[in-house]
Structure 1
Amino acid sequence: MPLSTFLLVLVAAALHASWNAIVKRGPDKQLGTVVITASAALLSAVVLPFLPLPDARSWPWLAASVALQVAYYALVARCYQQVDMSVAYPLMRGCAPILVAMAALVHGEQLPLSAWSGIVLVSIGILGMALGTHRAHWGLPLLTACMIATYTLVDAHGARLSGNALSYTLWLFLLSGLPLTMRALMQRRDALRAHVCAHWRLGLIGGIGTTTSYAIALWAMTQAPVAMVSALRETSILFALLISAFLLGERVPRGRWIAGGVIVAGVILLRVPS
């Protein structure tokens, strides 16, 4: 993976952790997610007229991803209603890189030993952050991890077929943001209006963050093996750890800091030349 791509994916990881923290910090996790996705959809609608349509071969993959993304956002909101970010986030993100790498291997994507080692270490480190938590809290985050792995593979293929990863990403955010917004308008119109008035700035920042983060990730997947990009993107857990400790005021045990060191070792291996 070129150094420029490597560094951009790390930026995407930081942005991803940031929008998750905005959801966790808000008083209503579900409406916070809706405002962020609505902001991303609005931003996409503004930019899309200046971009070409994705290639028609990518449209079925785009449609499948829209359904997966809507389910993912709903699961994220529910996770943060029930579980601390420092617990839910590692479980959600830790399983995805290994699942993605195994699926990519089945489809013929070859990786050097150093890359496999890095992916395994990143996943072990992320999952290590959830050790010591009650297993009753694992169900929803693990279900979300499966959703993440699935939409990652779908979008990696769709972006490669689209001919324009940015256009594909923005269509995805536009189409996936509309159902969540319409549902909230039908079910919680007054609460949504009040939430937007109070938190629209954070929602806009989150919308920019999630759109930019995923656009970078999908572009990177057109330039480098999807398994490596997926693992590197999940280093967002390091940023989430810092946010949890220093911004959200959550207690972070020493073991999670050690697990963070394992993730850093994995990232270093991902940069070892093949």
Structure 2
Amino acid sequence: MKPTDPIVDLDARSFGQHSREALANDSLRGALDLVTTEFADRRARALSLTPDWETWREQARAVKAHTLASLDTYLAQFIERAEANGIQVHVARDRKEACTLVAEIIQQTQASTVVKSKSMVTEEIGLNEHLVAQGLEPVETDLGEWIIQLAGEKPSHILAPAIHHTREDVGHLFHTELGIPETHDVDELTAVARRFLRARFAEAEVGVSGVNFLVAETGSFLVLENEGNARLCTSLPKVHVAITGIEKVIPRLADLDVFLRVLPRSGTGQAMTTYQTLFTGPKPDPNAEGPEAIHLVLLDNG
């Protein structure tokens, strides 16, 4: 795929054929029914235990509406304060510009392997395909995304990218692609993934992540996750490259309070996400932990 090619194949005949094949696949239908029902049940349980849900949701909506009405002001404030914190901010007009910027940053580090945490915006712009075309190796480290990458597929769900694969599918995939004895035991499959991915974390010079929120007041950005891989992607490599849309900006650090209540309950039915990492600049001295450089690509793509 070329960087300028459409990401989604909208050919109606191809869609019809694939739809019929999927509907005839009992294993696939069972997996999708199980997981989607579980997602809905978790969310319903979380909201039933949250009497202030509608109030929180209205507060979050009001913050977003206010921010979008003054987007230029808050973006300018964020960029000014982020750069004062030592974050190197790049503004990309479209996906082509964003992909080119990220590839150039990686090439400047002379890295070949890049570890990535889950990011919908990188899927939107086709970043992996662009990096591969430039001779680079992007390695997805979210378990579901890694499974999809090994299978040569696209994510099928925004929260659970490998939602359409059963444990039997994954066991066979690992056997075929990684050369390990086939197993369908979930704990064993997870251990295999952990072993392979830990080695990639250790050797990568660049880590790529998405962003959940940009805080104009402090010039900070927040990354939320449940697996811990994003924290490894952003703390072990020397260079951290974060990519996000400009709509992620919010005015104040205090505004995070309501979003950190609403987002996990709405998305996964959790009271809070497992890991919440706030970035306010690269490490201040060589003996500190964290990346030596942080690049943030702000994507307009309007």
TM-score w.r.t. the length of structure 1 is 0.23
Return the structure number with greater relative CO, CA threshold 8 A, min gap 6.
1
TM-score w.r.t. the length of structure 2 is 0.21
Decide which structure has greater strand share.
Answer: 2
Decide which structure has greater helix share.
Answer: 1
